[in-house]
Amino acid sequence: MSIPAASPSTDQALTSFYYGRQTKPLFAVKSLLSAFLPASSPFALPRSTYYRFPPTREESGIILIEEGIASVCHAEKSMVVSTIFAPSLLGLIDGYGAFNGIPEKSHCSVFAETDLRGRWIGHQVAVEILNEKNLWQEMAHILAQRLMVLRMRSQEMVGVDSYPMVRTLLTELADYPEEYRRQINALSFIQRRTNLSRSRVMSILAELRKGGYITVHRGVLEKITRTLPAHF
C-alpha cells in the first residue's frame, strides 16, 4: 500500500513527521530495492513483535520493507527513535558497524507497528551490489534525509510537557492510512515514543474522549473529531 502525500490537517502535528514524508527520497529507495531484490530472501515480522539486528559480521544484513510500518528502537529501552513507512530500508547503520568491526555502545531493534512484509539481504552482498552498480550516492541520499528527520524529531520531543507530546503524537497517528492505523494501539504508540507513565497517558486520552475530541475503540484511535485543544 502506498503512503499518500503528506497534508497536515493541523499545525499541531509533528513537523518532522510531515517533513519526513514530504522529503523521502523515493527514487533512491526504489533504486536500491530494485538492485537488491534479485539477491534477497523473503522477510516477514508479525505486528507488535521485535527484530534485533544480529551483532556479528556473518549475520548482519539489511531489511527491505515493502509493506507496513516499522519503528526503529533503542534495543535496551525499546524507546522509539524513528518511524519508517514502506517502501524503505532498515539496518544500514547496525550492519555497517558489525561488518566493519566498529564497536557500538548501543544497538537498535525493529518493532513492527503493523504486519511487515519485505526482503532481507546480507550486508556483504549489498555492499558488492552498491559497488557494482555505483549506488552509493543513492545510499547517502537516504541516510542524509533520515538524519535530518531524526534531528528535527529530537528537538521536538525534548523539554516538552506531557500533553503537547500526546497531542502531537495523536495528530500524527490520525494521519496514518486507516489500514495501518487500525493495527496500532494508541496507548502503546504514545508510551513507546515518550517517557510518560501509562497512567498519565491514559488520563489524557480519557479526558479527550470525554470532551468529544477523539474516538477510540478497543485501543485504536478511530479519528480526531474536533481540533485538539492547545492546553490540557
Task: Compute the half-sphere exposure of residue 92: CA atoms within 13 Å on the CB side of its CA.
Answer: 18
Residue 151 lies inside a defined structural domain of this protein: yes
Q: What's the pLDDT score for residue 153?
A: 82
The residue among 73, 97, 93, 75 whose CA lies nearest residue 84 is 73
Residue 7 lies inside a defined structural domain of this protein: no
The residue among 64, 11, 20 whose CA lies nearest residue 38 is 64
122 and 58 within one domain: yes
93 and 54 within one domain: yes
Q: What CATH number does the domain containing 62 carry? A: 2.60.120.10
Domain hosting residue 90, numbered range: 15-157
196 and 122 within one domain: no
Q: What's the pLDDT score for residue 185?
A: 95
List, as one string, the DSSP characters of the chain.
Answer: -PPPPP--SSTTS-HHHHHHHHS--HHHHHHHHHHHGGG-EEEEE-TT-EEEPPSSTTT-EEEEEEESEEEEEETTT--EEEEEESSEEE-HHHHHHHHTT---S--EEEEESS-EEEEEEEHHHHHHHHHHHT-HHHHHHHHHHHHHHHHHHHHHHSS--HHHHHHHHHHHHHTS-HHHHTTS-HHHHHHTTS---HHHHHHHHHHHHHTTSEEEETTEEEEE-SPPPS--
Residue with cell 559480521: 57
Q: What's the pLDDT score for residue 174?
A: 94
109 and 68 within one domain: yes
69 and 27 within one domain: yes
Domain end position, chosen among 157, 185, 207: 157
Q: Kindly report the CA angle at 135 between 2 and 114, in degrees rounded to 5?
A: 30
- Could you read off the pLDDT tens digit of each residue along the chain, which spans 232 residues? 444 444 444 444 446 888 888 899 999 999 999 999 999 999 999 999 999 887 777 788 999 999 999 999 886 777 898 899 999 999 887 666 666 666 665 678 899 999 999 999 999 899 999 999 999 999 999 999 999 998 888 877 777 788 988 998 999 999 999 999 999 999 999 999 988 999 999 999 999 999 999 999 999 999 999 999 988 7
Domain end position, chosen among 138, 157, 176: 157
What is the number of other CB atoms lying within 10 angstroms of the CB of residue 219?
Answer: 12
Q: What's the pLDDT score for residue 1?
A: 42
Please state whether the predicted TM-score (pTM) of the whole model is above 0.85. no
Q: What's the pLDDT score for residue 6?
A: 42
Spatial separation of the C-alpha atoms in residues 110 and 57, rounded to whole Å: 18
63 and 169 within one domain: no
99 and 43 within one domain: yes
126 and 48 within one domain: yes
168 and 120 within one domain: no
190 and 130 within one domain: no
C-beta of residue 103 within 8 angstroms of C-beta of residue 142: no
43 and 149 within one domain: yes
Count of the separate structural domains present in the chain: 2
Spatial separation of the C-alpha atoms in residues 62 and 81, rounded to whole Å: 18
Q: What CATH number does the domain containing 186 carry? A: 1.10.10
Q: What's the pLDDT score for residue 102?
A: 66
Spatial separation of the C-alpha atoms in residues 135 and 129, rounded to whole Å: 8
177 and 147 within one domain: no
Q: What's the pLDDT score for residue 7?
A: 45
